[in-house]
Structure 1
Amino acid sequence: MELDLGTAFIGGIATIAFTLPFVLDYRKNQHKMRALLTGLKDLAAKQGCQIHSYEVCKNFIVGIDEQQAWFFFLARTAAGHESQQIDLKTLRACEVVKQRRSAAGSGGDNAAGGWAEVGLVFISKNPQRPSTKLTLYDHTAGRQLTGEIQLANKWAALAEVLRQGNTKNAKAS
């Protein structure tokens, strides 16, 4: 079976034409991820912290300084960037918040409607200080869930471990 030059040329061009969009999309996503990570590291540096663990999900990044117990959040929004830095030593709890939305015609049964919002709530030890809420997913943004629930559960658990570790260290002192 022989392969002539014309067939090889057409096959090569077709391969490039089909793979190029995937390569360009990957490079664009990598660039966005690096920009978010750089922004998160800059945010941490302003608090005198370093990012030890981080995770990127679509348009936001979360990170944590495990030694100083700080949580950082940076999101790209239509208006620019939204950022939060939270001292875990000042918290009473960190909780995952999941709200369901109701489906049209479901008669009030909102289990069929999917998720309206997923986020983290950081509750301060000081009752005079309001809780800090980070929205990781909002259905009004017109996109689908892409791991935000798992990310929220993971990072809430990590924040709780660090928060409790600092509480124990403070009590032992």
Structure 2
Amino acid sequence: MKVDLPSVIISFFALATFFVPITWYHISEKAKVKKLTEILNQFANEKNISLTNHEIWGDFYAFGIDEKSKKLLYVKANKDNEEKIFVDLSEIDNCKVVNGSKNIRGAKGNVSFTNNIRLQLHYKTSGKASEFLEIYDGENGKSLTSEISIANKWSRKISSLLHKRSESRYKLPLI
């Protein structure tokens, strides 16, 4: 059996043009996750806390939480800047998901779409402004994927920690 060398070369390059971009994308995504993990761990070390849970999503968002000391870390690190927010959950009254939407007038009427998703943390102190932690921003050109479930999951997690705190505060001793 004779092998047709030009066909083999053409087939190799055709496969390479398919697999190289996919491999490149996979490697770059791993590098972004690694960078965010390093930033989050460094931030946790700066605040002297031990992360019991964390999550990284999108290209530049991360949450980390120390459930024992009830401390929350938020990182948004894109090419231009790095935003780090530290929240002591003992100072928080409640947490909720805030969906921002835009209405666009089209041929078939108004269409509403999600423009941003944020967690809103209300402080117990009345004079202190609420903290907003961005989970999704439609202005950055990314499409909405799992951000709604991430927002709901972290809102429940934070709220359950706040609820545990208030339960333990009002618990009566057993006689």
Please tell me the TM-score bracket, short chain as reference: 0.7 to 0.9
Shift of 1:28: 0.6
Change (3 A) 1:37 1:7: same
Unaligned runs of 5+ in 2: none
- In the other structure, the counterpart of 1:166 is 165
Change (3 A) 1:2 1:72: farther
**SS at structure 1 position matched to 2:132:** strand
Using the size of structure 1 for normalisation, the TM-score is 0.86
Deviates more, 1:134-143 or 1:39-48: 134-143
> Higher strand share goes to which structure?
2
- In the other structure, the counterpart of 2:32 is 32
Partners of 2:51 and 2:159 in 1: CA distance: 17
- In the other structure, the counterpart of 2:52 is 52
Partners of 2:47 and 2:169 in 1: CA distance: 21
Deviates more, 1:115-124 or 1:139-148: 139-148
Shift of 1:4: 4.0
Cα pair 1:69 1:166 within 8 Å, conserved: no
- In the other structure, the counterpart of 2:87 is 86
**SS at structure 1 position matched to 2:54:** strand
Partners of 1:126 and 1:24 in 2: CA distance: 48
Aligned residues: 171
- In the other structure, the counterpart of 2:131 is 132
Q: How does 1:66-85 map to 2 (within 5 A)?
A: 66-77=67-78, 79-85=80-86
Deviations along 1:102-147, one digit per CA (max 9) or x if unpaired, are 11258x95xx220122100111111122210112222222332122
Unaligned runs of 5+ in 1: none
One-letter code of the match for 1:48?
Answer: N
